[in-house]
Amino acid sequence: MIQTPETLRIAVAQFNPVVGDVAGNLEKARLAREQAAQLGADLLLLSELFISGYPPEDLVLKPAFLKACKAAVDALAQDSADGGPGVIVGFPRQGEKGRHNSVAIIDGGRILALRDKIDLPNYGEFDEKRVFVEGEMPGPVNFRGVRLGVPICEEIWNDLGVCETLAESGAEILLVPNGSPYYRGKLEVRHQVVLRQVIESGLPLLFANQLGGQDELVFDGASFCFNADKTLAFQMPQFEEAIRLSTWTRQGDGWRCEQGEIAAIPEGEEADYRACMLGFRDYVNKNGFKSVVLGLSGGIDSAICAALAVDALGHERVRTIMLPYHYTSEESFKDAADCANALGCHYDIVPIAGPVEGFLSSLGEMFEGTESGITEENLQSRTRGTILMAVSNKFGSMVVTTGNKSEMSVGYATLYGDMNGGFNPIKDLYKMQVYAISEWRNAHVPAGALGPAGEVIPANIISKAPSAELRPDQKDQDSLPPYPVLDDILECLVEKEMSVEDIVARGHDTATVHRVEHLLYLAEYKRRQSAPGVKITKKNFGRDRRYPITNRFRDR
């Protein structure tokens, strides 16, 4: 007969798996289990699809990959024969009816139970219905005398009744492995989702989330628990790898998690900056790049990208290059040098007049009789892109591209020029948000940053009018609305899918809104060829917003 315990100790690990690194993720799980044992845990809870990394996308179509994941889970099960903590771990598995997003509950040298995800998300960044089949409505799992309900991520976000069903069938605690990516304000959304399930089920719920960057997504950790009385029992840190022990006691009205650490959660610009930094660091490191290189123009976008690079990787891994032409101002020379000096990173100057004029000479006969304009301006940008790629090829450094979301929205970027690069840390930040996080960074050093304190982005870069400097006295607002106006219109069109009529009702000029909408649609082909970048808003380009390139619709 199984004794009913009065205390249960559950360790929550928000660790940073690497998609496809099954052996490495198994070792991370083993390390987490060792640490959980040192903390005195009975059970270790890991995040969704931890063994494969999340999201594994079409890797799960490979039978060899599924076989490797199952072998890793079996090995972890064998480890548990030592009498230490049990483990709840996510992995993709091949079932009789197809592939499943699954969880294994492990203890005593074996897999006690398997749990297959029912609610497969198929929106925004999620494509799980494409590669997985739905599981069946679950019952609780008896773990050392405690009946545990184990919903998987999306099952607590919708109203399928999974938590209520588990409660009705005898579950006493809900433990939820998650792969919930960051966007601005996401943690408050998670809290509200969990509170709704706590109220409906009458059970305490522990939300364990993945940490780390995976391509464009950033998983921010911030795992937490709410008791059945709707009180927050503990809150783990955001953007930090961590393991914490939660202690549960059986009381007259059910199980209760004792009050634990309530970590301070960053907000606003700090949260966005740390998300960009974590996503950038993991993209570079997980893909094996030793260093990065970027063009440092003296403008705000390249300056904040340089700061993010140094904070994420350290100054010794960052090379910046000023690529001046005839229209580069002395002010830009000074601003770029001051920024590189403040950050302590390597700084070179490579003039582009020679190669640009060589291109113009080669094209002279063909272009004879035409007016100089956008083509000649773009030659400057494309020359810079070619030089940066040459440096990348020679030294193995990944090129960082620096266009913000405002520019990417309206096509204010040059294909095979300033769009060249392997990753863009500010791709999902509008221009005014770039200014905001730049001012924040000058006043703060984010946790985990490797860069210096103080003003790392010279004040003049923030205060001067932005310019691509591709012709004399050029300013961005010669051809674009003021950025506060542009950003508001774009947020309405992209994030909120508002009609032109409704946007105009906010006080915007009708012709300006129509023009911005036209530019947004027209630039789709450029965005399809752009580098990946960290997702910060609720709807980023790529995973979240998928529009046809060939598209004649206009909201008239």
Q: Is pLDDT of 1 > 50?
A: no
Q: What is the CA angle 284-238-7, rounded to 5? A: 125
> How confident is the model at residue 539, as a pLDDT?
85
Q: What is the DSSP letter of 457?
A: S
Burial class for 556, CB neighbours closer than 10 Å (0-12, 13-18, 19+):
exposed
Max Cα–Cα distance, the chain, nearest Å: 95
Please provide residue 496's backbone torsions phi and psi, each rounded to the nearest 5 degrees: -105, -10
CA 508 – CA 498 distance, rounded (Å):
13
Percent of the chain predicted with pLDDT > 70? 97
254-257, strands of its sheet edge to edge? 110-116, 99-107, 86-94, 43-45, 7-14, 242-251, 254-257
Position 287 confidence tier, pLDDT thresholds 50, 70, 90 = very high
* Alpha helix segments (H runs only) across 97-136: 128-131
Q: What 3-state DSSP class applies to 326? A: coil
Calculate mean pLDDT across residues 172-195. Answer: 95
Question: Please, which pLDDT band fits residue 476 given cuts at 50, 70 and 90?
Answer: low
Query: For residues 244 and 211, is the Cβ–Cβ distance under 8 A?
Result: no
Tell me whether residue 232 is exposed, middle or buried, using C-beta atoms within 10 angstroms of its C-beta: 0 to 12, 13 to 18, 19 or more. middle
From CA 351, how far away is CA 319, in angstroms rounded? 16
Strand, helix or coil at 402? coil
pLDDT at 250: 93
When comparing pLDDT for 476 and 317, which is higher?
A: 317
DSSP state of 206: E
User: Do 152 and 91 meet the contact criterion of CB atoms below 8 Å apart?
Assistant: no
Phi first, then psi: what are they for 520, rounded to 5°?
A: -60, -50
The Cα–Cα gap between 312 and 320 comes to: 15
- Closest alpha carbon to 50 in 106, 98, 10: 106
Query: Which residues touch 349 (CB under 8 Å, ≥6 apart)?
Result: 321, 322, 324
Comparing CA positions, the residue from 203, 208, 227 lying closest to residue 48 is 208
Over residues 342-355, the mean pLDDT reads 96
Is the pLDDT confidence value at 44 over 90? yes
Which residue would you say has higher pLDDT here, 109 or 125? 109
| Residue 345 pLDDT greater than 80, yes or no | yes
| CATH numbers and ranges of domains, the chain | 8-251 (3.60.110.10), 269-476 (3.40.50.620)
Other Cβ atoms less than 10 A from the Cβ of 488: the count is 18
Look at strands 292-295 and 398-399 and give their pairing.
parallel
H helix or E strand, kind and range, residue 147: strand 146-149
Helix (H) or strand (E) run with residue 246 in it: strand 242-251
Say if residue 22's pLDDT is above 80: yes
pLDDT per position as a tens digit, 218-257: 999 999 999 999 999 999 999 999 999 999 999 888 999 9
Closest alpha carbon to 401 in 418, 383, 381: 418
Q: What is the pLDDT of residues 511-528, one digit of tens each?
A: 999 999 999 999 999 999
Tell me the pLDDT tens digit for each residue of 318-337: 999 999 988 888 998 999 99
Q: Residue 529 has which token pair?
A: 């060829």
pLDDT band with cut points at 50, 70 and 90 for residue 475: low
Kind and range of the H or E run holding 503: helix 500-505
Selection from 329, 339, 330 nearest residue 303 by Cα: 339
Q: Is the pLDDT of residue 205 over 60?
A: yes
Q: How many CB atoms lie within 10 A of CB 57?
A: 16
Higher pLDDT, 124 or 65: 65
Which residue matches tokens 């995976």? Answer: 214
What are the backbone angles phi and psi of residue 416, rounded to the nearest 5°? 60, 20
Write down the pLDDT at residue 122.
Answer: 78
Confidence of residue 2 (pLDDT cuts 50, 70, 90): low
Q: In what order do the strands lie in the sheet with 292-295?
A: 346-349, 318-322, 292-295, 398-399
CB distance 235 to 261 below 8 Å: yes
β-partners of residue 243 are 13
Q: Quick one: which H or E segment has residue 358?
A: helix 353-367
Q: What is the pLDDT of residue 200?
A: 92
Mean model confidence pLDDT for the chain: 92
Please give the helix or strand (H or E) that residue 275 lies within, else none: helix 268-286
Positions annotated as catalytic residues are 48, 117, 153
What pLDDT, on a 0 to 100 scale, did the predictor assign at position 465?
Answer: 75
Check: CB of residue 425 under 8 Å from CB of residue 400.
yes
What pLDDT, on a 0 to 100 scale, did the predictor assign at position 158? 84
pLDDT in tens, 442-469: 999 999 999 999 999 999 999 987 766 5
Contacts of 457 (CB under 8 A, 6+ apart): 300, 303, 304, 307, 339, 342, 438, 441, 442
pLDDT class for 176, splitting at 50, 70, 90? very high
In 345-373, which positions are buried (b, 16+ CB within 10 angstroms) versus exposed (e)? bebeeeebeebbeebeeeeeeeeeeeeee
Would you state the pLDDT for residue 285? 97
Place of tokens 């390249």: 302
| Rounded CA separation 360/451 (Å) | 41
Distance CA 149, CA 166 (A): 6
What is the average pLDDT across 164-190? Answer: 94
Angle between helices 353-367 and 374-395 (to 10 degrees): 130
